[in-house]
Amino acid sequence: MSALGPHAGYILAAYASVVMILGGLILMIWRDHRAQRQALDALEQRGAGRRSGKALS
């Protein structure tokens, strides 16, 4: 820790904050993707098809 100097606590807290924020954003995006996929599947089951006719992968 001495390599980081006297501000090691601040530096490590900043990195930890960034990791937590990015992790939260990734989690939110993943959950939204699942919700959108489920909504699309529900629409397709009710007979609403895609206009272009191309399937998403």
Structure confidence at residue 56 (pLDDT)? 59
Would you list the DSSP string of 24-35?
A: HHHHHHHHHHHH
Considering the domain boundaries, does residue 28 fall inside one? yes
Considering the domain boundaries, does residue 53 fall inside one? no
Q: Cα separation of 50 and 29, whole Å?
A: 23
Considering the domain boundaries, does residue 36 fall inside one? yes
Domain that holds residue 41: 17-45
Is 0.75 surpassed by the pTM of this model? no
Considering the domain boundaries, does residue 51 fall inside one? no
Considering the domain boundaries, does residue 1 fall inside one? no
Considering the domain boundaries, does residue 26 fall inside one? yes
pLDDT per residue, tens digit, the chain (57 aa), is 678 899 999 999 999 999 999 999 999 999 999 999 999 999 888 887 666 656 555
Considering the domain boundaries, does residue 9 fall inside one? no
Structure confidence at residue 25 (pLDDT)? 98
Considering the domain boundaries, does residue 35 fall inside one? yes
Counting the structural domains of the chain, the total is 1
Structure confidence at residue 57 (pLDDT)? 56
